[in-house]
Structure 1
Amino acid sequence: MSKALLAFDDKAMLLSTAALDMILLCQRRGFALDSLLKGTKLFEQDLRKATTKISPAQYLQLVSNCQKALPGPELAYLTAQSWLHHSHSPLLLMLRHSANLQQALLSFYRYRSQLLPLVYIRLQRVQGQLRLVLRPSFDLGKQQAFIEQLMLHYLLGLVKQQLGDTSRLSISATGMDYETSWLYQHQWQLTPELCLQNCLSLPLALLKHPFADANPVLWQQQQNWCLYLQQSIPEKAAFTEQLEQWLFTVLRQSPSQEDAARHWGLSLSSLKRLLALQHTSYQQLQDQVKACAAQQALLVQGMSNKTLANRLGYSDEHNFRRAFKRWTGLLPSQFRS
């Protein structure tokens, strides 16, 4: 394994950063703490400790409880707003005091285990744009939409806070109800587009625009704190995330399940068991990776089906067209249009 494995019950997330703001929001709306902590094995005194750690399973239960208290898209937006003004998280302060968006994204990538290691961002360059595609690290169940919206609202808020404008950005989503779409239009003046991936797109030129709160001294101080915290919160990643990342690098070879097991030093049965714990299979994961790569390539003008089929390890473009229809429900020509 390239990184230590993050298991569903590993206590590897700081409660004070990942979930406390969300809990306090619900409390301020009059909801009892007992109901918000139900099923988490957490107690009121745990909220008062800056060092309390929770597992992904506990975090998802907290999200579920808070969503019952505050249903709808508002909770994700308000939690993201709290993150933007957080004064205790070294990582969030580090992002705020970055020189520019490029440095902020690099810092987030390096230290995201100290915030929310349940999703990761895959970067795609397409025609002068940078696409930040959100990918789940775990099977997040019904809470996946909340977590992805939380990350999108935070990234949009960071750009708005530091660059003053989000008009050059765009949002794509796999599905969005009227209330969520209205919130994006009302708060960010953006109309989300339906797509096969959840992503935020921005001009590459924005990466180097200086942040309003850029401060190299404060940034370095917070990075030192992040380095210190890494001793107690070592960088970990879910197995499905690590396997996905590997599959992206070996797309053309179309490795078999047996190849993957050998690469990770696992028996075939162990590989299947690890994936079954995340309610997925090797074939499902490989299809998702190929679909993600194909969608990126189809956004590049001039990429033919034949070229793309070869890139994804298909010798016959007709087989690729059938596979793309199976992955997405659309033919490549329909997706392009």
Structure 2
Amino acid sequence: MSDFLLPVQYLRQIAEQLRAMGTDPAAWLARCEVEPRQLDDPDYQPGFALFSQLIEHALALTEEPALGLLVGERLVINTHGILGFAALQSESLRQAIQLVERYLAVRTTLVTLRHEHDEAAQREHIQFVASFPLGSIERTVLEAVMLAIKNVFDAITPANVCLSQVGFPFPAPCYADLANEMFGCPVAYDQPWAGFTIDSALLDLPLRMADPAAFREAESICQRELMKLGEKTSLSARVRRLMLEKQNGFPSLVVTARLFHMTPRTLHRHLLDEGTTFKQILKEVRHSLAVEHLKSGRLSVQEIACSLGYNDVANFRRAFKQWEGVPPSEYRPGRQ
């Protein structure tokens, strides 16, 4: 099974946004050979490549660069199923953040969350890390997902509790003022990571709708759903996702095996059974990330080589030429 998950309900929200903007959802779906009836099938699950095409075509049809924000605004807490219900019962913002960090995968595997505490500044950094090479849809996806999570926080916290800052790892768009308004706080661009900054003092304020018993029951359902997903997802897909989550320092075979409660030999054997190896997955992840970094233009070739774990930039150049047929300095996205 693919490690990409996005419930069809979210595709329906995109379709409704297109309809509200005067675009026929059927025409949008037809471009990707998707039938409208498939959006009514609760078990329908597109692959990541098809999802990317759907987002690209939605942007092209609407000619609305801020589509991600408009879709994100629609994604209120009750659109997130059991995860949204559990968040609504949280006793504190800290508990809600931990909940989303642990169980976001029951709603989507597009991104994962990391929570870091800045002791010196007394700030919390909630980072959104892409689990897939988003490429041309990065801005739209991050804006939609981050605004959706912001809506969850808004639903459970008092009106005066808000984010200190939102950051995105891409240049400011022409609609930056709209982003500031919709997030309700300053939005910074060209940042090293995507995410929120929150005052630490807000984390443990009691929430008005807290229901500890309901929270425990909802969290147990999230746990069961996550276990089911883990059983369906191939080991190679889980290893690939782990590498993408930790792309600033890929774990070794030994560390990866330990994280999956296996010996290195057992992990190697299972990957062979799935037709791949740890080295092959690492090479594929490096290739994918190298292309995405070059497309973004934010890092130099030397910086990309370093971020991908190459001690010698010459080794990276050789590897990239094997992947793409040209050295990284000559790579041009979309060339044939």
Fold agreement, TM-score > 0.5: yes
Q: CA deviation at 1:284?
A: 7.3
Query: Is the alpha carbon distance of 1:190 and 1:46 closer, same or farther for their aligned partners in structure 2, counting shifts above 3 Å?
Result: same
Q: Determine helix, strand or coil for the equivalent of 2:230.
A: coil
Whether 1:111 aligns to 2:103 is yes
Which consecutive residues of structure 2, in runs of 5 or more, have no partner in the other structure?
258-262, 269-276, 293-301, 312-336
TM-aligned CA deviation for residue 113 of structure 1: 1.8
Q: Could you tell me how far apart the structure 1 residues matched to 2:200 and 2:4 are?
A: 37
TM-aligned CA deviation for residue 274 of structure 1: 5.1
C-alpha distance in structure 2 between counterparts of 1:243 and 1:20, whole Å: 31
Identity %: 14
**Aligned with residue 282 of structure 2, among 244, 262, 271:** 271
Do structure 1's residue 174 and structure 2's residue 174 form an aligned pair?
Answer: no
Confirm whether residue 142 of structure 1 aligns to residue 136 of structure 2.
yes
Residue of 6, 13, 17 corresponding to 1:13:
6
Give the match for residue 196 of structure 2.
200
Name the aligned partner's letter for residue 122 of structure 1.
Answer: R
Q: Are 2:190 and 1:190 aligned?
A: no
Q: 1:181 to 1:11 in 2, by over 3 A?
A: closer
Q: What's 1:293 paired with?
A: none
Q: CA shift at 1:171, angstroms?
A: 1.7
1:73–1:183 contact (8 Å) kept in structure 2: no
Could you tell me whether the CA contact under 8 Å between 1:80 and 1:150 is conserved in 2?
yes
The answer as to whether partners of 2:243 and 2:285 remain within 8 angstroms in 1 is: no
Q: List alignment gaps of at least 5 residues for structure 1.
A: 1-5, 291-312, 314-337
Q: Please give the residue correspondences for 1:322-337 in structure 2 after superposition, counting only pairs within 5 Å.
A: none
For the residues of structure 1 that align with 2:141 and 2:170, how far apart are their CA atoms? Answer: 14
Q: Note the aligned Cα RMSD (angstroms).
A: 3.8
Deviation at 1:144, TM superposition (A): 0.9
Shift of 1:105: 1.8
Q: 2:208 aligns with which of 201, 208, 212?
A: 212
Counterpart CA distance in 1 for 2:23 and 2:254 is 50
Q: TM-score under structure 1 normalisation?
A: 0.68
In 2, Cα distance between equivalents of 1:247 and 1:176: 21
Count of residue pairs the alignment pairs up = 279
Aligned-partner SS, 2:75: helix
Contact 1:46 1:52 in 2 (8 A): yes
Moved more, 261-270 or 30-39: 261-270
Q: Match for residue 298 of structure 1? A: none
* Residue 30 (1) aligns with residue 22 (2): yes
Instruction: Tell me how far apart the structure 2 counterparts of residues 122 and 43 of structure 1 sit (CA, whole Å).
Output: 36
Structure 1 residues 217 and 135 mapped into 2: Cα distance closer, same or farther (>3 Å)? same
- Residue deviations 1:156-176 (CA, integer Å, cap 9, x gap): 323333221355511222334
CA-to-aligned-CA distance 1:242-271 (integer Å, 9 cap, x gap): 1255566789xxx7x999999674364553
Change over 3 Å in CA distance of 1:217–1:81 after alignment to 2: farther
